[in-house]
Amino acid sequence: MENKSLSNIETIESNALSIQECLRSYIYEIPNFQRPYSWENDQLNDFWTDINSSDNEFFLGSTVIWIKEKRPLFNDLHSVIDGQQRLTTCTILLSTIRDYFHEIETSSGNEEIKKIANTQFTSTQNKIIVTDDDGESHRVLIRKEDLFYEKIQRPNAIPSNSALNASATRIEKARIFFEEKINDEINSLNEEDKISKLKQLRSNVLASKVIQVELNSEEDGFLVFETLNTRGADLRLADLVKNLLVRESAKNGDDRATVSKRWENFSEKIQGSSTDFDLVDRFIWQSWNSRRKAVKQQELYSALIRHFKNTDSSSNAYLDYLEELEVDSEIYIKFDNENIQPEPQVQGVRNAFSVPQFVDSVRALSIFNVSVANSAMIAIARKYNLHKKFTKANLIKVARDIENFHFQFSALNNSGSTGGTRTRYNNFALELENAKNAAEFNLAVENLSAKLRASLPDNSKTTEIFSKLFYAPNLTLRQADKNKSRKAFITYVLLTISKHFKALPPAQSISSWSIEHIKPQSKASKRTSDPIYSIGNLTLLTTELNSEISDGDFADKHKQLKDAITFKDEEIKKWFSEAPQEITSTHIEERSKYLSTLALEKIWNIG
């Protein structure tokens, strides 16, 4: 890695420019290593307040650019290193003002107003799309999101119908934000005053000032982008790592574009349409901790720099790390999915997600809302996929031990994950990564099991909590009860009991099952403590059968239930053999105690 500091960077010039001067004299492009558009309501509110209340020039901040392409007799093309959020937001607001001019033009019955509004519409659009001497149009700000071109810059463009990624979603939300703000300002005004207000807003945007710093090269741009993080700029971990990999893994534009595209391919799968940009940061952190000595998320970038400095700083080393992220992302994107199902088994291909028992544990952790074990789950899936000596039995045992631990620790006891919990999984992942043979794999697996077993919560307390599980879908629940009383969670509990006794195979779809209150809910009070809602009164039926079972006393639906219930535990067997007219609270309480003891001793234990 080249050791170059800011003191070595030459600036061509640094000027105070208005936004109008920027849009008139420059073409801007957001480079591949830049982060997505990320402004949310807090930043948009501040921006709007400043613009709407500004009577004079308002200082927006700085922009840092470098000349990417010289264009004789026309505006040069500049890559934006810093300031893209400001330039993008100004363009979004101008597009909103433009479209309100168009709305006035099309709705007015006054020809003079129509003419004025059309002139202002055209004038505003000319700040967003400019034309050279040959009549060719150019976007003043070039972004990769299709929505930015189609809705912000050229609203009459043929739509691409492409899916919105997180950046495009935020651009769309910013546009809606400004539409609502402007509507509030002008809705009660007459047409002339509406035009005046829109012109004032446009003038305030265009008169706003930035300090624009122009650099000499792309290499300087990479360094400034990274260094801004140490100077207080709000750069995310993903921004910095992407910048590092694009800069160091390739030295020409085409190769850098390829690296950037590979980054976007995996990061957009993780990000999806979510506007939580921390998702990719968390993945990078958990991927690192699944392979190397664990660090805190805020320390990872420094650790990454040290890693390359102390091991290998060739371009291939950076590409190898990119490949690690690509491999781990294919595992990570399948987490946090309550409806996950096993993938088809392909002959000769080892795939952890084709193992039904592993998939069941992934689903369970999603239902528990547990992500602290992600480094360990990534590690075992990767090791199984790549190393034949890490067996299916190893994979299933680790996943099930983690599932069983968090069923007791997280789901039942509501215990938050501590630094010790995360460290335990990170240490296991590192031990597994360094293991080379079956004996070392087995040792790592047994070490984790022992540590999880030793960290289980108090057995008697957990047994009591289990016995008080309930399902009351028609009642208003306390916040503390909601997670443990969700349909997905109670269905998971009942399915896991059935699978333990091999009454059902693994990989059951949660949505295929309905929860049946054996003693009907119609006889229950409005208290969640009513035994009718208790785990001791619950069983599973297929969705189709549930609608056919009557809502009467046990004697009335005895035969239907006997045929419909997939798994009959010892207590339910007694009910059917005794065939009481009605299931009593005593029946239910006895079954609750039986199931809670069974759960902790036989099913959710760590062997």
Q: What is the pLDDT of residues 49-95, one digit of tens each?
A: 999 986 667 888 888 898 888 888 789 999 998 889 999 999 999 99
pLDDT of residue 225: 67
User: pLDDT confidence of 10, banded at 50, 70, 90?
Assistant: low
Compute the average pLDDT of residues 511-528: 92
Beta strands 513-517 and 538-542: pairing type? Answer: antiparallel
pLDDT in tens, 288-303: 999 999 999 989 999 9
Q: What span, in angstroms and rounded, lies between the C-alpha atoms of 441 and 394?
A: 8
* 500, burial (CB in 10 Å: exposed 0-12, middle 13-18, buried 19+): middle
pLDDT of residue 2 exceeding 70: no
Helices and strands: H and E segment counts in the chain: 25, 10
Residue 141 has φ and ψ, to the nearest 5°, of: -125, 115
* Res. 424: pLDDT tops 80: yes
Maximum average pLDDT range among 201-215, 236-250, 591-605: 591-605
Contact 231, 61 (CB under 8 A): no
The C-alpha atoms of residue 467 and residue 535 are separated, in whole angstroms, by: 7
Say which residues have a Cβ less than 8 Å from residue 62's Cβ, sequence separation at least 6.
82, 83, 210, 211, 212, 213
- Rounding to the nearest 10 degrees, give the CA dihedral for residues 330, 270, 244, 246: 80
Tokens 């149009």 sit at which residue? 137
Tens digit of each residue's pLDDT (9 = 90 or more) over 168-193: 999 999 999 999 999 999 999 999 99
> Tokens 């997505």 sit at which residue?
36
Q: What percent of the chain has pLDDT over 70?
A: 93
pLDDT of residue 36: 85
pLDDT at 8: 56
For tokens 């067997």, name the residue: 573
How far is it, in rounded angstroms, from Cα 51 to Cα 475?
48
Which string of b and e fits 382-417 if b means at least 16 CB within 10 Å?
bbbbebeebeeebbbbbbbbbbbbbbbbbbbbeeee
pLDDT of 41 strictly over 70: yes
pLDDT at 372: 96
Encode pLDDT of 522-554 as tens digits.
899 999 999 999 999 999 988 666 556 656 677
pTM over 0.75: yes
> Which SS3 state, helix, strand or coil, does residue 519 take?
coil
How far apart (Å, rounded) are the C-alpha atoms in residues 75 and 276?
36
Side-chain half-sphere exposure of 95, counting CA atoms within 13 A: 27
pLDDT of residue 230: 47
pLDDT category of residue 3 using cuts at 50, 70 and 90:
very low
Question: Is 546:582 a contact under the CB 8 Å cutoff?
Answer: no
What separation in angstroms does the CA of 557 have from each of 17, 473, 586?
Answer: 81, 22, 20
Average pLDDT over residues 22-43: 89
**pLDDT (0 to 100) of residue 165:** 86
> φ, ψ for residue 449 (rounded to 5)?
-55, -45
Question: Which one-letter amino acid corresponds to residue 226?
Answer: E
In the predicted model, is pLDDT for residue 46 greater than 90? yes
Burial class (CB in 10 A: 0-12, 13-18, 19+), 77: middle
Sign of the CA dihedral running 351, 354, 358, 362 = positive
517 contact partners, CB below 8 Å, separation of at least 6: 471, 524, 532, 533, 537, 538
Band (213; pLDDT cuts 50, 70, 90): confident
Sequential DSSP letters for 32-75? TTSPPP---HHHHHHHHHHHHH-SS--EEEEEEEEEEE--TTSP
